[in-house]
Chain A
Amino acid sequence: MNLTSQVLHLARRSVIRTIRQPANWITPLVFPLALMAVNSGGLDAATSLPGFPTDSFIAFFLAFPFIQGSLFATVNAGVDLARDIQTGFLNRLALTPMQSAALLVGHLGGVIVMGVVQAAWYLSVGLLIGVRIEAGPLGMLVIFVLAVFIVLAFGSFGALAALRTGSTEAVHSLFPVFFVFLFISSMNLPRNLIETEWFQVAASLNPVSYLIEAIRSLVIVGWDEQALVLGFSISIGLAIVGLTLSSLSLRTRMART
């Protein structure tokens, strides 16, 4: 059986597992939008700040659910992988002719499917509540592609944590760390309007800011080449680093000869 088939079978299992754990898909679909509704209600006045790039805070904030949803999917996927290690299911897979790469890619394949579903959901809700995507239909497609890279990047770090520790608790503990990155970013305000200096510096150093800004640019600006190059470069770069480290950890974890 070739690598592609192995990946597809393992990705299918990952998707089935997600579907059969409602908390794993309801939370990422509902919670980020709920937070968006709350924040948009409370921070709507920010649109009157001089230099604020749009008069719709919801449109400005729509990028947030994509990132937060990716975090949920990442942690859930990491937990699933850690559970496979804890229960010995990884050993069962290791006893088959499965290639090691198939395990990682198949697992992340399930995360990507979840990422696509989430992206479609966030985008649909955004359109339903009147957000206009300035980059048009092609821009929406680009949002999907970017969402896939982001979820792949985060997912690879979730897998890394699972493979390094083999502990569901350790993977769970990653979530607050990821959350800190999310909140110390330009999610609530454009970086140039953040007045607290340390926060502005931190947001500028935080790669999550550029992921948010890339999606946001397609929603509220149209085609912002710089934002997109940064967003894609960072997400792809993170994915490469995460996948490389995960592959090395998998080699150690699955020490079959």
Chain B
Amino acid sequence: MERAIEVRGLVREFKGGIHAVAGIDLDVAPGEIYGFLGPNGAGKSTTVHMLTTLLPPTAGSARVGGHDIVQEGPAVRRVIGAALQEAALDPLLTGREHLKLQLALHGIPRTERDARTDELLERVGLRLAADRKIGGYSGGMKRRLDLALALAHRPRILFLDEPTTGLDPQSRSALWDEVVRLKRDEGVTVFLTTQYLEEADVLADRVGIIDHGRIVAEGTPTALKAEIGRPTVEAVPTEGTEPAQVEEIFGRFGELQPSTAGVAVRLDGKGGLADVVRALDSAQVSVEALHLHAPTLDDVFLAKTGRSLEGSEEPSEPDAE
């Protein structure tokens, strides 16, 4: 089956020799939600700009919807929809006017535009605000309209560049539901960039982790976490218990990890949680709380890059952000 997105050795170099994207390969199957995870400035937006034909690559190749992004730009644009990082809206136009303009520029016949506009407004919950100028919309409303605009011409492939950044939890959840619905009901392929681990974990069928313009890990969230495969045990010593006592015991089971709550160890296979509990008990070391943390995508990022994704930030991507 033809891949929805196929990328080979894609490079984008900016002035001053900055490699925002330093040669990436990836494949996205039709109907798949692909999460592109990485810190700010890792190369996510530059990749999206290239795949959506807005930025020519310096080297490498990519096909989107079966079309070459360099040679067949107009054909690519016909099959994709995109909501870029900034909700690019005109504050002086209403939501309805935005949609009608978008539909007209996509060549949707006049007779269909009104119905399609109403349908999209209803779907993103903006029917009541349809005739208000965008200047008065909240951030969440703007993002929802942005999504409606990206879907206006019924694209087969949807690019969402950090669609939930800055949204409140309720708006974020509504947008996640819509993304899942698009995949489930319409078979839309979604290429989603995010810096939120939870978002990638919840939504993506597969995740690509990008750092310094290179993909450092790729796979399903479950597989990636299983690859790391080592849960962390964290203990909060009781008052009167020396943390050093806990550290001594934990040290038998793996590598000690930094912990703000107490003492933590990443298990290295010499024993499980039960063994840790037994060891603490036999040494008569009491703890107030004991937590078992399953591996997260942040652990994957940490394992692959030596840094934590949370709070990790690169200089902004030139031009693309």
Contact = CB atoms under 8 A, between A and B. Distances in A.
A38 interface: no
Contacts of A5: 104
A92 B146 CA distance: 10
A84 B89 CA distance: 9
Contacts of B53: 95, 256-257
B90 A98 contact: no
Contact of B105 (A1, A91, A255): A1
Contacts of A91: 54, 84, 88
B123 interface: no
B73 interface: yes
A88 B45 CA distance: 13
Interface stretch (B74-82, B237-245, B249-257): B74-82
A225 B89 CA distance: 48
A10 to B, nearest CB: 8
B69 A257 contact: yes
B151 to A, nearest CB: 12
Nearest to B85: A88
B18 interface: no
Q: Which of B55, B92, B97 has the most CB of A within 10 A?
A: B92
A1 B69 contact: no
A21 interface: yes
Contact of A13 (B82, B86, B90, B107): B90
Nearest to A84: B90
A94 interface: yes
A94 B80 CA distance: 12
A87 interface: yes
Interface residues of A, number: 25
A97 B153 CA distance: 11
A148 B88 CA distance: 31
B133 interface: yes
A64 B56 CA distance: 46
Interface string B47-69: 00000111110000000000001
B105 A96 contact: yes
Contact of B107 (A16, A21, A89, A97): A97
A13 B101 contact: yes
A132 interface: no
Given A16-B93, A89-B88, A255-B55, A95 B70 contact: no
A96 B80 CA distance: 9
Contacts of B133: 20
B52 A95 contact: yes
Contacts of B54: 91, 94-95, 255-256
Given A92-B149, A256-B73, A257-B69, A97 B105 contact: yes
Q: Which of A84, A93, A256, A257 has the most CB of B within 10 A?
A: A257
Interface residues of B, number: 32
Nearest to A20: B92
B89 A1 contact: no
Contacts of A88: 84, 86, 88
Contacts of A9: 101, 104-105
Interface in B12-68: 52-56
A249 interface: no
Contacts of B56: 255, 257
Given A96-B77, A97-B78, A257-B53, A1 B92 contact: no
A83 to B, nearest CB: 9
A6 B80 CA distance: 20
B293 interface: no
Contacts of A93: 105
B193 interface: no
A89 B104 contact: no
B86 A87 contact: yes
Contacts of A1: 104-107
B102 interface: yes
Interface in B156-212: none
Interface string A95-130: 111100000000000000000000000000000000
A95 B82 contact: yes
Interface in A71-94: 84, 87-94
25 contacts: A1-B104, A1-B105, A1-B107, A5-B104, A6-B105, A9-B101, A17-B93, A87-B88, A87-B89, A89-B89, A92-B89, A93-B105, A95-B53, A95-B77, A96-B102, A96-B105, A97-B77, A97-B78, A97-B107, A255-B55, A256-B53, A256-B54, A256-B73, A257-B71, A257-B76
The 7 lowest CB-CB distance pairs between A and B, nearest first, are A88-B88, A257-B73, A1-B107, A96-B105, A92-B88, A88-B86, A20-B92
Given A1-B106, A88-B84, 4 more contacts: A6-B105, A13-B101, A92-B88, A256-B73
Interface of A: 1, 5-6, 9, 13, 16-17, 20-21, 84, 87-98, 255-257
Interface of B: 52-56, 69-71, 73-74, 76-78, 80-82, 84, 86, 88-90, 92-93, 97, 101-102, 104-107, 133, 149
